[in-house]
Structure 1
Amino acid sequence: MQMGSHHRDALADLLVWRRDVRHFKADPVAPEVLARLRDAMDCAPAVGNARPWRVFQVEDRAKRQAVLENFKAANDKAAELYCDEKAEAYRALKLSGLQEAPVHLAIWTETAPAEGAGLGRQTMPEMLAYSTVTAIQTLWLAARAENIGVGWVSILDPKGVKAVFDVPDSWSLTGYLCLGHPADTSDTPLLHRAGWQKNTTTYWEIT
């Protein structure tokens, strides 16, 4: 299939409008939309075709609450790194949509998959986690095309989250995502709007 300029333009729009969403409406995400997002992840590249990502759609209220408490504790600890005005600015940031988002996804990397027979990861085993990240990014862009927002919650103690889900020892937490219909839409990152930091220029050198 030959790609045309309309594909390029559509992708450019998705990249610009792909924002980390933390304010969600309570409306549920349709099952058929979630099915399409799952199918999109199947298109992601993976080292040695190992496809190491493992996804939990978290519906259990107790598990959700445990993750929320984990976040609150980790967030309080992170806030201690800052002083004075920066500390105040940090605490004013909304850094997760855990309480509002209708869909929670806990995404793990299987660090010892049989699939792929070790191809491509002997010298860089971290390629497995990178593969999971590409699957998350693929889901993220597909979600934006569905007008679904995604927020990646990184302020978590992964050991604590792992204990909540009782996953195999070989599984490593790569991402905890909140999904839902955005309460508002903007092509300006939230951290820009909050005055925390604007984008730096991509380092790209010819050598």
Structure 2
Amino acid sequence: MKRFYRLLTGFISLLLTSCTLLNLSEQATHELCQTHSDNLQWMRYVSPGYSYFSRNALRDLLRQAQENSSHKLAYCVVTAVQAEPVSAENEGALVTFAVDEVLWGNCYSAGDTAVVRTLNHAGMDQDFLQGSRYLVLLGDDAYSGYHSMYGPWSFYLTEDNLLVSPFGCAVEEQEAVTASQNPASGEIQWDWSIEARYYTGKTLEEFCADLLPD
């Protein structure tokens, strides 16, 4: 009987933990992106995609790819295999991914390899990067020698399949909005927000259900 109660207690604890992960507080979410910052900074230096910060823009991009088979895009879960600088002059880095799973799209299969070129390799730590898992939106631009990756809508994946945006979370979004409304702050006055920040702390399943086309 005691063993049964121990098992029951453990099961209830597991359920509570799982539920908590689905509803992280703002502070817990902020701590999540701070904890994993070493795995994220390099993703800010990936293009194209800087005209796709809003959810509506992303949905339009995915819809167009779905309707036009020549527009190759895929949302993939990948593992970083290696990263190496292009040159000593900080001209970017080449990041090699192994594709683990294709969640949506008309290119790539599990087992494929994708090589992405970043614009800068500052802060890139090979030890942190290698073996890390990411949710990435990839384009099939292999003719250029590299594959395109849409940085604003790509995420680091924790062991619990929680998403972490390289641009932070709702806390950073609120700070950016506040700064943009204060001309004296000296901050750049953006006319858009980085809506991917609101998915930091969400599960992979929640993201797919909310944004990926059927």
TM over 0.5: no
TM range (shorter): under 0.3
What is the TM-score of this pair, normalised by structure 2?
Answer: 0.24
**TM-score, normalised via structure 1 length:** 0.25
Higher RCO (CA-CA < 8 Å; seq separation 6+)? 1
